[in-house]
Amino acid sequence: MTEATYKRPESLAKREFSYCPGCHHGIIHRLVAETIDELNIREKTLMVAPVGCSVFAYEFFDVDGTVAPHGRAPAVATGMKRSLPDRVVFTYQGDGDLAAIGTAEIVHAANRGEKITTIFVNNAIYGMTGGQMAPTTLLGMKTTTSPYGRKSETEGFPLHVSELLKETAGIVYLERVAVSSPQEVRKAKAAIKKAFTVQLKGLGFAMVEVLSTCPTNWGLSPVESIKWLNENMKKEYPLGVFVDKVGDLK
């Protein structure tokens, strides 16, 4: 008899992903969905998806939720969590959203210690709207709005969101991970599960930043994109735990 050892998480809708080939959103979606299933919280989980590629998340997660204006997901999630404190509320945001128009929202949500969870996908570019330069775009990186490469004297430096947020008093768990290898996928899953567990225990704000590829707007193949991420993004955005005030959680 054949036994299934790997199947679609119940918290993922029964539809194919529409993300570009090589994009890591699908991997990250699965890790979030597996976490929701394993913690047995699907019926009480609420998702907030803002503008950007992350807006498609509401099509793929089989949980209740809403779409927020660009950058405002933490504010919307704050209202949902405060009015429904027994629910598990998470935001799923890209860097063009969270690190640009949503900078104030994420900083103040973290500083207030809102009891929500944020999954922050950083691919160093505006993915959905045409590949423009984002706050996280690396120096020298070419985009549609920095065709000669980002220059610090005119466009400033890449914004390190996790390094910024670690200074806020309300954040209790903050880690940067990647999903460009099997080993990293396992570590990312553990980080995401811990971030949700922090909320279940009512301990404060938790965020996981996930480095991701964008082959379409980077102008690279999926394989080349992973190589570029490993050789460039990880140098600019080192992986690791920035804040852990909770230790081991069971």
Q: What is the pLDDT of residues 61-118, one digit of tens each?
A: 999 999 898 889 999 999 999 999 999 999 999 998 999 999 999 999 999 999 999 9
pLDDT band per the 50, 70, 90 thresholds, residue 6? confident
More confident residue, 4 or 16: 16
pLDDT for 129 beyond 80: no
Contact 70, 103 (CB under 8 A): no
Within the chain, strands assigned E span 45-49, 64-67, 88-94, 117-122, 171-178, 205-211, 240-244
Q: Which candidate, 73, 5, 74, 21, places its Cα nearest to that of 214?
A: 21
- Please write the tens of the pLDDT for every residue from 200-227: 999 999 999 999 999 999 999 999 999 9
Strand order from edge to edge, sheet including 205-211: 64-67, 45-49, 88-94, 117-122, 205-211, 171-178, 240-244
Place of tokens 């400033």: 156
pLDDT band per the 50, 70, 90 thresholds, residue 247? confident
pLDDT for 238 beyond 70: yes
Q: Pull the structure tokens for residue 58.
A: 């509401």
For residues 108 and 168, give the distance between their C-alpha atoms in angstroms, rounded to a whole number. Answer: 8
pLDDT band per the 50, 70, 90 thresholds, residue 1? low
Q: Compute the radius of gyration of the chain from its Cα atoms.
A: 17
CA distances from 218 to 41, 120, 140, 236 (A): 36, 19, 13, 16
Q: What is the pLDDT of residue 111?
A: 97
- Residues 113-129, mean pLDDT to the nearest whole number: 93
Number of helical H runs and strand E runs in the chain:
11, 7
- CA angle (204 as vertex; 199, 205 as ends), nearest 5: 85
Q: Is the pTM of this model over 0.75?
A: yes
Q: What is the pLDDT of residue 92?
A: 96
pLDDT for 4 beyond 80: no
pLDDT band per the 50, 70, 90 thresholds, residue 233? very high
